[in-house]
Amino acid sequence: MIETLGVLSPIPGISGREDAVREAVLDRVAPYVDEASVDSMGNLDCVKRSKNGHGEKVMVCAHMDEVGLMVAQIDSNGLLKCRTVGGIDPRVLTAQRVRVGQDNIPGVIGMKPIHLSKPEERTKNPKIQDLSVDVGGSSKEETEKWIKVGDGATFDTKFEPVGDLVKGKAFDDRMGCAVLVELLKEAFPFELHGVFTVQEEVGLRGAKVAGYRINPRVCVTLEGTICDDLPDDKDRGRTTRLGDGAVITLRDRSVVCDRRLVSVLMKVAERDEIPFQWKRPLAGGTDAGSVHLSREGIPSCVVSTPCRYIHSPASMASPEDAEAVVRLVRNSLEELCSVAGEIDGRSNWKT
Amino acid sequence: MMTPDNLLKELCAAHGPSGFESNVADLVERLAAPYVDELRRDALGNLIARKKGQREGASIMMAAHMDEIGFLVSGRKESFLQVAAVGGLDPRVLPGQEVWVHGREKLKGIVASLPPHVLSQEDRGKVAQIHQLYVDVGLGEEALSEKVRVGDPVTMAVESVSMKGGCMSGKSMDDRAGLACMLLALSRLAAMKHPWDVYAVATVQEEVGLKGAQVSAFGVEPTVAIAIDVAHGNMPGTDEGDTVDFRKGPAIAFGPNISPVVCERLTATADKHGIPWQREAVPGRSGTDAWSMQVVRSGIPTAIVGLPLRYMHTAVEMIHLKTVERAARLLASFSAELGEEALQWVGLSPVDLEARRRGEKDD
Amino acid sequence: MEDLIKRLSEAYGPSGAEEGIREMIQGEIEDCVDEMRVDTMGNLIARKKVGEGPRVMIAAHMDEIGLIVTHVDEKGFLRVAPVGGVHPLYVSACTFVFQDGVVATAGVEPVKDGKIPSMDKMYLDVGAPNKKECPVSVGDVAVYQVPFQSQCGRWIGKSMDDRIGCAILVQLLKEISSGASELFAVFTVQEELGCRGAVTSAFGVDPQIALAVDVTRTGDVPECQPMEVSLGKGPAVKVKDSGMIAHPEVRKRLVELAEEKQIPYQLEVLTAGATDAMSMQLTKEGVPAGCLSIPSRYVHQPGQIVDASDSRNAVELLKAFLEKPPCQG
Angle at B134 between CA B130 and CA B137, to 5 degrees: 135
Look at residue A346 in the predicted model and tell me its pLDDT: 59
Residues C252, C131 share a domain = no
- A-chain CB neighbours of C68 within 8 Å are 251, 281-282
- The predicted model gives C181-208 an average pLDDT of 97
Is B113 in the same domain as B178?
Answer: no
Taking CA–CA distances from A347, the nearest residue in chain C reads: C37
Note the pLDDT of residue A350. 56
Choose one of C144, C179, C213: the last residue of a domain. C144
pLDDT tens for chain B, 363 residues: list them: 689 999 999 999 999 999 999 999 999 999 999 999 999 999 999 999 999 999 888 999 999 999 999 999 999 989 999 999 999 888 888 988 999 999 999 999 999 877 767 777 777 777 888 888 899 999 999 999 999 999 999 999 999 999 999 999 999 999 999 999 999 999 999 999 999 999 999 999 999 999 999 999 999 999 999 999 999 999 988 888 899 999 999 999 999 999 999 999 999 999 999 999 999 999 999 999 999 999 999 999 999 999 999 999 999 999 999 999 999 999 999 999 998 888 888 889 999 999 888 876 554
B126 touches chain C (CB under 8 A): no
Q: Is the pTM of this model over 0.80?
A: yes
For residue B51, give the H/E element and its range.
strand B47-51
Of A282, A349, A350, the CB nearest to C70: A282
Longest dimension (CA), chain A: 79
pLDDT of residue A349: 61
CATH of A68-155, picked from 3.40.50.2300, 3.40.50.720, 2.40.30.40, 3.30.300.90, is: 2.40.30.40
From the centroid of its chain, how far is CA B159? Answer: 18
| Residue B359 within a domain | no
Judged by CB atoms closer than 8 Å, whether chains meet at C287 and B43 is answered as: yes
The verdict on C41 and C71 lying in the same domain is no
C138 and C164 assigned to the same domain = no
Same-domain status, B203 and B306? yes
Give the residue-averaged pLDDT of C40-52: 96
Total domains, chain C = 2
Are the C-beta atoms of residues C119 and C65 closer than 8 Å to each other? Answer: no
Tens-digit pLDDT profile for residues A193-207: 999 999 999 999 999
User: Does residue B362 lie within any of the structural domains?
Assistant: no
* Residue A230, helix vs strand vs coil: coil
Task: Supply the pLDDT for residue A127.
Answer: 87
Asked if A296 lies within 8 A of C138 by C-beta distance, the reply is no
CATH number, residue B109: 2.40.30.40
pLDDT of res. B363: 44
Of A51-60, B62-71, B322-331, C268-277, minimum mean pLDDT range: A51-60
**Residues of A taking part in catalysis:** 200
Q: Are residues C32 and C83 in the same domain?
A: no
Active-site residue (options: B206, B207, B280, B317):
B206
Which residue range forms the structural domain that includes residue B313? 4-68+171-345
CB contact under 8 A, B218 and C269: no
Whole-number pLDDT of residue B132: 85
Please state the domain count of chain B: 2
Q: Tell me how far CA of residue C282 lies from CA of B21, B46, B216, C53, C194, in angstroms.
A: 17, 13, 10, 21, 14
Domain shared by B50 and B117, yes or no: no
- Domain-embedded: residue B216: yes
Q: Is residue C152 part of a domain?
A: no
Spatial separation of the C-alpha atoms in residues B46 and B225, rounded to whole Å? 15
Residues of C with CB under 8 A from a CB of A: 15-16, 34-41, 47, 68-75, 79, 81-83, 120, 138-139, 190, 193, 196, 199-201, 203-204
Residues B112 and B13 in one domain: no
Q: Where is A228: in which H helix or E strand? A: none
Q: Give A277-327 pLDDT, tens digit per residue.
A: 999 999 999 999 999 999 999 999 999 999 999 999 999 999 999 999 999
Pick from C40, C199, C200: CB nearest A344:
C40
Q: In this model, does residue C132 exceed pLDDT 60?
A: yes
Same-domain check for residues C94 and C242: no
Quick check: C83 pLDDT over 80?
Answer: yes
Mean of the per-residue pLDDT values of chain C: 95
Q: Closest by alpha carbon to A13, among B290, B256, B287, B258?
A: B256
Distance from CA of C72 to the nearest CA of A (A): 8
Q: Given an 8 Å threshold on Cβ–Cβ distance, is A73 in contact with B240? A: yes
**How far apart are the C-alpha atoms of A120 and A128, rounded to whole Å?**
18
**What is the predicted pLDDT for the residue at B37?**
96
- Say which DSSP state A134 is in: E
Residue C149 lies in a domain: no
B211 with C287: Cβ contact below 8 A? no
In contact, C58 and C203? CB cutoff 8 Å: no
Residues of C in contact with A336 (CB under 8 A): none
CA distances, B341 to each of A215, A324, B224 (Å): 28, 45, 12
For the beta carbon of residue A130, count every other beta carbon within 10 angstroms: 15
Same domain, yes or no, for C136 and C170? no
Count of B–C CB contacts within 8 Å? 81
In a domain? residue C190 = yes
- Is C212:C276 a contact under the CB 8 Å cutoff? yes
Alpha carbons C232 and C230: distance in angstroms, whole number: 6
Q: Tell me: do C104 and C195 sit in the same domain.
A: no
From chain B, the residues in CB contact with C248 under 8 A are 19-20, 22
Q: Report the CATH number at residue C180.
A: 3.40.630.10
CATH assignment at residue B251: 3.40.630.10
Enumerate the residues of chain B whose CB falls inside 8 A of the CB of residue A37: 348-351
DSSP β-ladder status, B135-136 and B153-156: unpaired
| SS3 category, C263 | coil
For C160-172, the pLDDT digits (tens) are 999 999 999 999 9
For the stretch C216-255, pLDDT in tens is 999 999 988 888 899 999 999 999 999 999 999 999 999 9
Q: What is the Cα–Cα distance from C291 to C312, expressed in whole angstroms? A: 16
Structural domain range at position C194: 2-64+158-323
Query: What confidence score (pLDDT) does residue B344 get?
Result: 87
Highest-pLDDT range among A108-112, C101-105, C106-110: C101-105
On whether the CB atoms of residues A336 and A190 are closer than 8 A, the answer is: no
Kindly state whether residues C168 and C223 are assigned to the same domain.
Answer: yes
> Does residue C47 lie in a domain region?
yes
User: Quick one: B184 and B40 in the same domain?
Assistant: yes
**Based on the domain organization, do C24 and C48 belong to the same domain?**
yes
Based on the domain organization, do B189 and B319 belong to the same domain? Answer: yes
CATH number of A2-66+169-343: 3.40.630.10
The reply to whether C329 falls in a domain is no
Please report whether residue B45 resides in a domain. Answer: yes
Yes or no: say if C153 and C306 are a contact pair by the CB < 8 Å rule. no
pLDDT tens profile A113-165: 778 788 888 778 888 888 999 999 999 999 999 999 999 999 999 999 999 99
The pLDDT score that the predictor gives to residue B361 is 56
A348 pLDDT more than 60: no
Q: Which has the minimum average pLDDT: A187-191, A331-335, B111-115, B304-308? A: B111-115
Closest CB to A40 among B280, B301, B357: B301
